[in-house]
Amino acid sequence: MSNGEVKVSKLATAKERLFNGIIKENPTLVMMLGMCPTLAVTTSCMNGIGMGLTSTVVLALSNVFVSLLRNIIPSKVRMPAFIVIVASFVTMVQFLLEAYLPSLNESLGIYIPLIVVNCIILGRAESYASKNPIWSSFFDGLGMGIGFTVGLGLLGAVREIIGAGQIFGIDILPDALEPITIIGLAPGAFFVLACLVAIQNKIKLRSGKKVKEEASCNGNCASCGSTCTDDAMLKTNANEDKEKAKKLIKMDKKEATEKEEA
């Protein structure tokens, strides 16, 4: 392959990864990952975008690092290793925010350190970056991060417009329309997300696709990489977590069938 061809194929993977992250596997709207920050910080559009960009930086950097070290980290201790990598980047980003964007840091508060346990980041490290070269891992992280930012920005914008009648702090609704304060409060977060998912389901139903009924991960973020994504199912050293998560699902199913029989 000549140099030019390599460049073209690299560009193509970059594009494909970005498209995948932003549209096809959008972490917020399609995969429903990272729900905690999604609901907590989207009281305004600005906060949502701030959180999204912060996560994007961490996601892209940790993906690069995990990919760089993918042949060195023994697979038995890969989860703790990934967590340490992610936690280091989160700490760095937190200090940068404290220094240069103190107001954003204050409004995001505790959710910045909590980026460590965001399903998306560990999920991508496990399911993509640990198996792919640096270049595509970087763009995978970037794409997923931008997708997350878009999701959070959208949710934040809807909540800010309906809940406070503003967007980016500028009044846009006429005075005659009273803002519905509850949308900006905790319960509103659930309602707005419910409506966004319902709209998406409606579109899916119209085009004849099946609606996803289960929450992703069955409550286990660590196994996100394997249970939630398509490139799924790590064949080697299936870790205990996954088996236990499966057992949990089986338990539920068994009970359901027993109920039906009764």
Partner 1 sequence: MEDLLKLAVATALINNVVLSQFLGLCPFLGVSKKTKTAAGMGFAVIFVLTISSAFASVVYEQVLVRFNVEYLETIVFILLIAALVQLVEIVLKKFSPSLYKALGVYLPLITTNCSVLGVVIINVQKEYGFVESIVNALGTGIGFTLAIVILAGLREKMEYNKISPAFKGMPIVLITAGLMAIAFSGFAGIL
Q: With binding defined as CB under 8 A, does residue 154 bind partner 1?
A: no
Q: Total number of residues binding partner 1 (CB under 8 A)? A: 62
Taking the complex as a whole, how short is the minimal distance between the CB of residue 84 and partner 1, in angstroms?
Answer: 6
According to the binding rule CB under 8 A, does residue 172 interact with partner 1?
A: no
- Of 22 and 93, which CB lies nearer to partner 1 in the complex structure? 93
Please report the DSSP string for the chain in residue order: --HHHHHHHHHHHHHHHHHIIIIIT-TTTTS---HHHHHHSTTSHHHHHHHHHHHHHHHHHHHHHHHHTTTTS-GGGHHHHHHHHHHHHHHHHHHHHHHH-HHHHHHHGGGTGGGGG-HHHHHHIIIIITTS-HHHHHHHHHHHHHHHHHHHHHHHHHHHHHHHSEETTEE-S-TTS---HHHHSHHHHHHHHHHHHHHHHHHHHHTTPPPP-SPGGGG-STTHHHHTSTT----TT--HHHHHHHHHHHHHHHHHHHHHH-
Question: In the complex, what is the shortest distance from the CB of residue 120 to partner 1, in angstroms, rounded to a whole number?
Answer: 11
Q: Distance between alpha carbon 90 and the CA centroid of its chain, in Å?
A: 15
Give yes or no for residue 36 binding partner 1 (CB under 8 A).
Answer: yes
Q: Which stretch binds partner 1 (CB under 8 A): 56-64, 67-75, 83-91, 168-176?
A: 83-91
Which CB, 27 or 136, lies closer to partner 1?
A: 27
Our finding on whether 32 is near partner 1 (CB under 8 A) is: yes
Would you state the structure tokens that stand for residue 12, as one six-digit string? Answer: 């193509």
Site string for partner 1, 201-240 (x = CB under 8 A): xx--x-----xxxxxxxxxxxx-----------------x
Minimum CB separation of residue 244 from partner 1 in Å reads 5
Alpha-carbon distances, residue 208 vs 27, 52, 56, 186, 248 (angstroms): 22, 31, 33, 34, 30
Q: Does 133 bind partner 1 (CB under 8 A)?
A: no
Comparison of 97 and 139: residue with beta carbon closer to partner 1:
97
Closer to partner 1 by CB, 17 or 58: give it: 58
- Our finding on whether 74 is near partner 1 (CB under 8 A) is no
For binding to partner 1 (CB under 8 A), which residues are involved?
A: 32, 35-37, 39-40, 79-80, 83-84, 87-88, 90-91, 94-95, 110, 113-114, 116-119, 122, 182, 185-191, 193-195, 197-199, 201-202, 205, 211-222, 240-241, 244-245, 247-248, 251-252, 255
